[in-house]
Structure 1
Amino acid sequence: MKPMKEIYLAGGCFWGTEHFLKQIEGVEATQVGYANGNIANPTYQQVCTGTTDFAETVKVQYDPDEVDLPFLIDLYFKTIDPTSLNKQGGDRGTQYRTGIYYTDTADLPVIRETVDRLAANYSRPLVVEIEPLKNFYLAEDYHQDYLDKNPGGYCHINPALFDLARKAKMKKEGDGEYLNLEK
């Protein structure tokens, strides 16, 4: 078995983004936290001031034998408005920006190619950050698995998308080449 890979995805409020991503077959673990900011060990209250440069982000650990990065990004894009700067759903502020943060530089061309392909579906320019992960601090415990602990809690993501994530299967052909989503 290959070692797990990781990617960090910011998609607005991390409660719904985490709940969505953890439904995907091949995602082995998720944690919510704050990425790419300018202070050490931020609190939720500090991040909400908009002065720390942090984005609410989900750390995703996944099995590359079960799910590949283009497939994860395709699904992630179903939960965001990639043309909306610092706003997803009713949430506004720099902490709610969208971003893909990587730790493996080999992932960058894959991320760019996937985002460029998806950009063709939009009439406005995309504002999704694509950057190396500079730092990541875990959010407070009450934020972890929030929607599991608080069913019916606030979420900017359409609940039907959780079902899509549970049912989505990555089709493979031959060497496991990415094909498309099966719904």
Structure 2
Amino acid sequence: MKAKSTQLATFGGGCFWCIEAIFQQLKGVLQVTSGYSGGNVPGVPTYREVSSGRTGHAEVIQVLFDTNCISYEELLVIFMTSHDPTTNNTIETEYGSQYRSVIFYHNNEQEKIAREVLLELKPAFDKTITTEIVEFIKFFEAEDYHQNYYQNNVEAPYCQAMITPKLEKFRKRYQEKVK
């Protein structure tokens, strides 16, 4: 049996609650943390500040995964097909750079793979992919009430209307990868 080999991935795809719920379902994913990345203001940002759209941060998830069970490329494909990477700074009826589609790469290999995956997926979308590929600099963990949001609030109207349908679609499409 191979020794566990872990790596970090950081993705922003609109609301972090939605993508957190999906990535928590994947075999090989050891931990998913909601937070903020990509901003340009000093200090530790709060949800209120980030949601104002003025800090430059995106709502993201940071994923700790076992590379012996799932590859970075597989994570990217799931990420890109679990949200709409063709909408710029938008989720449903909310707008702002905090909702942008973004891949924060942690090393040169991740950057190379991200660029290749986006190129390969391009024909699958009718519109232009707007997902940014940006060097990872810093991650700020979101407040406790954002962690495991779907699991803790499954009956909430937002979860029922937005997250549950995405999870059902994900489970159907990637059933062999679900824990």
User: Residue in 1 aligned with 2:49?
Assistant: 46
* Structure 1 residues without counterparts, runs of 5 or longer: 171-183
Aligned-partner Cα distance in 2 for 1:27–1:16 = 16
Q: Which amino acid aligns with 1:159?
A: L
Aligned-partner Cα distance in 2 for 1:68–1:2 = 13
Counterpart pick for 2:176 among 153, 168, 179? 168
Secondary structure (helix, strand or coil) at the match of 1:34 reads: strand
Q: Which amino acid aligns with 2:121?
A: L
Deviation of residue 95 (structure 1)? 0.6
Deviation of residue 3 (structure 1)? 2.5
Aligned-partner Cα distance in 1 for 2:174–2:25 = 5
Aligned-partner Cα distance in 1 for 2:93–2:168 = 18
User: Residue in 1 aligned with 2:32?
Assistant: 30
Matched, 1:142 2:150: no
Give the fraction of aligned pairs with identical amino acids, expressed as a percent: 32
TM-score, normalization by structure 1? 0.86
Counterpart pick for 1:74 among 55, 74, 77? 77
| Cα contact 1:23–1:162 (8 A) shared by 2 | no
| Superposition map of 1:4-153 within 5 A | 4-39=6-41, 40-153=43-156
Moved more, 69-78 or 19-28: 69-78
Deviation of residue 126 (structure 1)? 1.0
* Structure 2 residues without counterparts, runs of 5 or longer: none
TM-score, normalization by structure 2? 0.88
Q: Which amino acid aligns with 2:169?
A: L
Aligned-partner Cα distance in 1 for 2:154–2:145 = 13
Please give the root-mean-square deviation of Cα atoms over the aligned residues, in Å: 1.8
Secondary structure (helix, strand or coil) at the match of 1:168 reads: helix
Moved more, 112-121 or 158-167: 158-167
| Cα contact 2:82–2:170 (8 A) shared by 1 | no
